Amino acid sequence: MAVATVSTQSGAKPKRSRSQFAQAWRRYRRNYLAVGGLIWVIIFLIAGIIGPWIAPYSYSHTDFLNVNSPPTWQHIMGTDNLGHDMYSEILWSIRFALEIAFGATLVSFVIGIVLGLWAGMKGGIVDQIIMRLVDFMGAFPTFFFDLLLVVKFGRGMGPILMAIGITGWAGYARLIRGLVLSMRKGDMVEAATALGASQMHIARRYLLPNVMNQMAVSLAFGIPNDLTVMAGLSIVGMGLRPPMPSFGNLVAQAGSMMLGFPWMMYFPAGIFALTLLSYLFMADGLSEALNPRGGD
């Protein structure tokens, strides 16, 4: 018996010479759009981190002598109707967008994991209640709830982050519950239970690592979604309060002045569109690289 086990292991070993991560990266690298998306996302992240230091002006600095100026050497992306330097505004809005998108995704992800794991492991009435709640959140666009929450709690960074976060968990909870349910029936869990492992231990040690891949993909799709919602709130006039720049504010503001001063739209709308595209291409590439079963 022991001999047989050893021989199968040594027989299987040469095949898995590379780690799972390296294999995924090899598959990812073949998708040029995904690699391009990743590069832009990294640039965007760096700009978000160092942006406030390299921005030539503060976001609330107004240059009254150069109001509505087209791009010049002094203001390389022009200025808006109050004389804000567009380049600085964009750098700051990258920072705010990243903070809110990452924070909100984290919040909804944590809520989703907790509720999904709970529903999946416990079953019964808890499962019923949580899934009804998920259906309820899924049936209406969460944008409406976001609006209501922002009205209630104000238009600052924290309230918007929380509003987007606590309405966006339904998808994560559903995903994780489904994964847990599909695995609870598996041999692995049965074996662990037979060995006397506690439920908490099983969840942490066996279930979580297995769902990591799919969670990474859903996170990659979740961040651009939160970016969109955040900008959408600004379009309706319920986003970050005006002295703070955000892509939604910039686009909405430029939208009303576009026919006279079109350069106000080029940069914010262009960069925002490019960023969302990059995130989506990256997420798409990630889901193909991490999930090689759909190999056609």
Nearest approach in angstroms of CB 207 to other proteins is: 28
**Binds other proteins by CB under 8 A, chosen from 166, 184, 276, 291:** 276
Check binding of 70 to other proteins (CB under 8 A).
no
Smaller CB separation from other proteins, 57 or 169: 169
Find all residues with CB under 8 Å of 251, minimum gap 6, and list them. Answer: 231, 234, 235, 265, 268, 269, 272
- Establish if 281 lies at the interface with other proteins (CB under 8 A): yes
Identify any residues that bridge with 79 across adjacent strands, giving them in sequence order: 85
Of the residues 35, 106, 244, 269, which one makes contact with other proteins according to CB under 8 A: 269
What is the 8-class DSSP label of residue 67?
T
| Binding-residue total with other proteins (CB under 8 A) | 41
**Are the CB atoms for 149 and 160 separated by under 8 Å?**
no
Which range binds other proteins by CB under 8 A, 91-99, 186-194, 196-204, 257-265? 257-265
C-alpha 164 chain-centroid distance: 11
Q: Which is nearer to other proteins, 117 or 254 (CB)?
A: 254
86 interacts with other proteins by CB under 8 A: no
Q: How far is CA 28 from the centre of its chain?
A: 19
At residue 204, what is the residue type? R
Report which of 290, 149, 147 is spatially closest to residue 221, judged by C-alpha positions.
290
Residue 144 CB, shortest distance to other proteins, in Å, is 5
Stretch that binds other proteins, among 81-89, 90-98, 165-173, 275-283 (CB under 8 A): 275-283
Sequential DSSP letters for 157-196: HHHHHHHHHHHS-HHHHHHHHHHHHHHHTSHHHHHHHHTT
265 in contact with other proteins (CB under 8 A): yes
User: What Cα–Cα distance (Å) separates residue 241 from each residue in 55, 79, 190?
Assistant: 20, 19, 54
Using the rule CB under 8 A, is 28 a contact of other proteins? no
Binding site for other proteins (CB under 8 A): 33, 136, 139-141, 143-145, 147-149, 151-152, 224, 228, 231-232, 235-238, 248, 251-252, 254-255, 258-259, 262, 265-266, 269, 272-273, 276-277, 279-281, 284, 296
